[in-house]
Amino acid sequence: MLAELIELKTNKSESGSLTFFEGTRDIDFDIKRIYFTYDVPKGQKRGAHAHKNLSQILFCPHGQITVVVNDGFNSQTFVLDNPSKGLIIKSGIWRDIYFDKENSVLCVGASNYYDEDDYIRNYDEFIKYVESGYWK
């Protein structure tokens, strides 16, 4: 499995909807960092990297975002078009992220603090990590 799409618990009432999840309880890691990406032009691509050791849950509370994940052999596409969809991406997965609509917002809960050394931003380097069995 390259990534896992989950349905987040949602409380719906006449006064609106409330979607939630809890680290360790609803996903199998705790969250040390939250960040969000916005003001991204429609059609813009972001991401284009993998993480050596990081679990993340991505969700899109507004707009639509397409995430293409790749383990060096296969790729899979996920569309975050509803605030109740959560996409879990673990270590060793290359991700390309496309902002499909104007004013889309991407929120991420990450298992660790920001560390630039955890990023693999070059695809050839990513393939070398895969071939070395780094994530096996």
* Residue ranges that bind ligand T46, judged by CB under 6 A: 33, 35, 37, 46-47, 56, 58, 95, 97, 108, 114
Residues designated catalytic: 49
Shortest CB 89 distance to ligand T46, Å: 7
Tokens of 89: 């991406």
Closer of 80 and 130 to ligand T46 (Cβ)? 80
Provide, rounded to whole angstroms, the least separation between the CB of residue 19 and ligand T46: 19
* Torsion 112-84-37-90 (CA) sign: positive
Q: Look up residue 123 and give its two tokens.
A: 């695809």
Judged by beta carbon, residue 47 or residue 130, the one nearer ligand T46 is 47
Q: Is 136 exposed, middle or buried (0-12, 13-18, 19+ CB in 10 A)?
A: exposed
CB nearer ligand T46, residue 90 or residue 95: 95
Q: Say if residues 79 and 60 touch (Cβ distance below 8 Å).
A: no
